[in-house]
């Protein structure tokens, strides 16, 4: 077969390959195969020097003609395929503007975060300053400064998470009282809130990690009536005017006298249920008049100043408010539950 016949066979094969290309990617492969730097047509131009002198001119002209022809055919095929691919892409990406819109769900704060914010707003409205306090606390502030006797069960390491002999995860936000009073002089009216930790069995109303609020006031002439009025006002602001508040004598090392504060159980409307243990009441806070020894340890004269203090669990407030019978639900991150609140 002569060189001219080989050229015609190559031309015919190239035209067939171009016609069979179904996409721009396939066409690029065909173009590279024939017209690329190492393509079959390009390689033929490099063989001209090996031909007899009388055949070189006509062979070179024919190769260039085929090269130009293939380039033109490839360009035409590229235009055709571009139109098809653009049309196909537009069909796939077409938007039906008549379809209804899809609304994205908007996130919101966790119920405990919302409760903390509401508590903060109430106490700011009552004239309290909100202060921060550390979660890792010294034994001195968590127990010793709060008049705990050495034999008190709360001092047992089985009741607290100790980090070192003198350092532990705070068991109560009351630990901040001494920190504040040793740096300030009366009148003082401050409040703190945050996480506390105790070695406790987890059940419907208890957890090893919980949130607590603690407030105290020190000034001239502070009495138990001021304490009762403050807590009653808080209960009304948080639960509504129909709430009933009960005060009963109780003991806490850092107050004297002390009181347990409870509100009517919203789950059973005060009739008695498993959550309130049949009493019809849910404990809200521990409270009382600040013990004179606590004031003396920070240099405040208990003969001149008096004060009250109270603390309560944040987690129980939404339980009371929304009639929820298990506080574990707040920390299980079940969206079916959280979206209801």
**Residues 107-149: tens digit of each pLDDT:** 888 889 999 999 999 999 999 999 998 999 998 888 888 877 7
* pLDDT of 60 above 80: no
Mean pLDDT for 201-225 is: 88
What average pLDDT does range 91-110 have in this prediction?
A: 82
Pick from 54, 51, 40, 46: nearest CA to 7: 40
pLDDT (0 to 100) of residue 59: 74
* Domain spans in the chain, listed from the N-terminal domain onward: 3-92, 111-338
Contact of 117 with 211, CB cutoff 8 Å: no
Domain 111-338 has CATH 3.30.930.10: yes
160-175 mean pLDDT: 89
> What is the model's pLDDT at position 120?
94
Looking at the chain, the number of H-run helices and the number of E-run strands are 11, 10
Which DSSP letter does residue 75 get? Answer: H
How many Å apart are CA 174 and CA 165, to the nearest integer? 20
pLDDT given at position 158:
57
Could you tell me which residues come within 8 angstroms of residue 85 by beta carbon, excluding any fewer than 6 positions away? 23, 24
Residues 143, 145, 146, 149: is their CA dihedral positive or negative?
A: positive
User: Does the pLDDT value for residue 189 go beyond 90?
Assistant: yes
**Predicted local distance difference test score (pLDDT) of residue 266:** 72
Averaged pLDDT, 17-38 = 84
The pLDDT of residue 148: 79
Query: Which residues lie below 8 Å from residue 110, measured CB to CB, with a gap of 6+?
Result: 330, 338
Query: Angle, nearest 10°, between helix axes 224-239 and 111-125?
Result: 130
Spatial neighbors of 169 by CB under 8 A, at least 6 apart, are 135, 136, 137, 160, 161, 163, 196, 197
Question: In whole angstroms, what is the distance from residue 67 CA to residue 255 CA?
Answer: 102
Q: What is the structure's pLDDT at 2?
A: 66
User: For the whole model, what pTM was predicted?
Assistant: 0.65
């Amino acid at each position: 077969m002569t060189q001219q016949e080989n050229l015609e066979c190559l031309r015919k094969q190239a035209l067939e390959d171009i016609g069979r290309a179904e996409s721009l990617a396939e066409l690029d492969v065909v173009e590279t195969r024939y017209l690329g730097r190492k393509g079959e047509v390009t390689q033929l131009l490099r063989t001209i020097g090996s031909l007899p002198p009388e055949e070189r001119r006509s062979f070179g002209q024919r190769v260039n003609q085929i090269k130009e022809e293939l380039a033109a055919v490839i360009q035409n095929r590229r235009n055709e395929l571009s139109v098809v691919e653009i049309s196909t892409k537009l069909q796939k990406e077409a938007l039906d503007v008549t379809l209804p819109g899809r609304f994205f769900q908007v996130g919101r704060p966790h119920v405990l975060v919302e409760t903390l914010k509401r508590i903060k707003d109430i106490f700011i409205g009552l004239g309290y300053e909100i202060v921060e306090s550390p979660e890792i606390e010294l034994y001195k502030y968590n127990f010793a400064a709060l008049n705990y006797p050495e034999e008190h069960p709360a001092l047992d390491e089985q009741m607290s998470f100790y980090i070192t002999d003198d350092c532990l995860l705070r068991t109560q936000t009351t630990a901040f009282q001494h920190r504040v009073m040793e740096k300030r002089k009366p009148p003082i009216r401050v409040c703190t809130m945050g996480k506390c930790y105790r070695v406790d069995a987890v059940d419907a109303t208890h957890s090893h990690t919980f949130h607590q609020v603690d407030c105290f006031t020190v000034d001239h002439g502070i009495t138990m009536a001021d304490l009762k009025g403050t807590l009653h006002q808080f209960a009304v602001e948080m639960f509504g005017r129909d709430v009933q508040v009960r005060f009963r004598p109780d003991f806490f090392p850092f107050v004297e006298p002390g009181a347990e504060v409870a509100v009517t159980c919203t789950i059973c409307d005060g009739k008695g249920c498993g959550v309130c243990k049949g009493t019809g009441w849910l404990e809200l806070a521990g409270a009382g008049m600040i013990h004179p020894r606590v004031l003396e340890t920070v240099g405040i004269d208990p003969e001149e100043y008096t004060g009250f203090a109270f603390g309560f669990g944040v987690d129980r407030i939404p339980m009371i408010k929304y009639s929820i019978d298990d506080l574990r639900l707040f920390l299980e991150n079940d969206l079916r539950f959280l979206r209801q609140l």
